[in-house]
Amino acid sequence: MTQLGLPEDIQACLFDLDGVVTRTAVVHAAAWKETFDAFLREREGDGFRPFDAVADYDEYVDGRPRADGVRTFLASRGIELPEGSPDDPPDAPTVNGVGNRKNVLLLEKIRTQGVEAYEGTLRYIEAVRAQGLRTAIVSSSANTRDVLHSIGAEPLFDVRIDGVVAAERGLPGKPHPDTFLAAAQDLGVEPKQAAVFEDALAGMDAGRSGHFGYVVGVDRVGQTEALYAHGADVVVRDLAELGGGK
Ligand SMILES: O=P(O)(O)OC[C@H]1O[C@@H](O)[C@H](O)[C@@H](O)[C@@H]1O
């Protein structure tokens, strides 16, 4: 292992955004909860079963592209909606409408609360780059660029594969490995020469099925066992634990 806690042959690092680089996983989870609870209340009345911002979020929404999150969670409640179209209003009972409602709430929260970076992650990225490793941000979020820009972190990544790029290239999102594979390819490395850094169970699945050289699970919410069960090679609470901070 290197002094950065990685196998010797790793040449590139692929970082998820929400929950790994920025403290925005909880912001997404809160926006999803408001969205789904309003939707379920309208549909089922006050006796509805609320969205669990930890358990339901981890299992059905975290790490997946926006529309996939809508479909996957609602399917867990036996609900299937028409797709609608991307410009559906936020109150439309369609996959796109529900996703748009969530995005309005997310952007409002980001605007009022701001975006906070994990300092341990920023220092670690600087350390791996100083060692000559290449870096990519790989996120399902279509808001990746704005979030990175808000903390001035765009220059830390050689490649960006986000929700916008994935849609342009027709790449299926996490838990499929395609976005991580595209990042490795854009960086000119084989998957086994790349390390994946993820906090979401869907991201772990992508790391495992893509046969990447090393998969680092980042546990921000006490789900270490689940991260291992989904394919992590190691689980840390903060990337500073891997080294590179001195
Ligand atoms: O709605 P956005 O910003 O395109 O993000 C899509 C998904 O991006 C992931 O990074 C988050 O873990 C999910 O919660 C989110 O739903």
Q: Which domains does the chain show, CATH number per domain?
A: 12-24+116-242 (3.40.50.1000), 26-113 (no CATH)
In this prediction, residues 157-167 reach a mean pLDDT of 98
pLDDT category, 246, cuts 50, 70, 90?
A: very low
Which residue among 141, 165, 174, 221 has the greatest number of ligand 1 atoms within 8 angstroms of its CB, and so is best to mutate?
A: 141
C-beta of 175 in contact with ligand 1 (< 6 A): no
In this prediction, residues 58-62 reach a mean pLDDT of 95
In this prediction, residues 187-195 reach a mean pLDDT of 98
- In sequence order, the β-bridge partners of residue 196 are 14, 215
Give every CB contact of residue 170 below 8 A, 6+ residues apart in sequence.
none
The pLDDT, as a whole number, for residue 54 is: 93
Backbone angles phi, psi at 218, to 5 degrees: -110, 110
C-beta of 28 in contact with ligand 1 (< 6 A): yes
Residue 90's CB is within 10 A of a number of other CB atoms, namely 16
Say if residue 152 is exposed, middle or buried (CB neighbours under 10 Å; 0-12, 13-18, 19+).
exposed
C-beta of 100 in contact with ligand 1 (< 6 A): no
**Which one is catalytic: 9, 18, 56, 199?**
18
In this prediction, residues 48-62 reach a mean pLDDT of 96
Cα–Cα dist 63/65, whole Å: 7
The pLDDT, as a whole number, for residue 245 is: 56
Tell me the pTM. Answer: 0.95
**Arithmetic mean of pLDDT over the chain:** 96
pLDDT for 243 beyond 90: no
C-beta of 140 in contact with ligand 1 (< 6 A): yes
**SS3 category, 181:** helix
| CA 104 to chain CA mean position, Å | 18
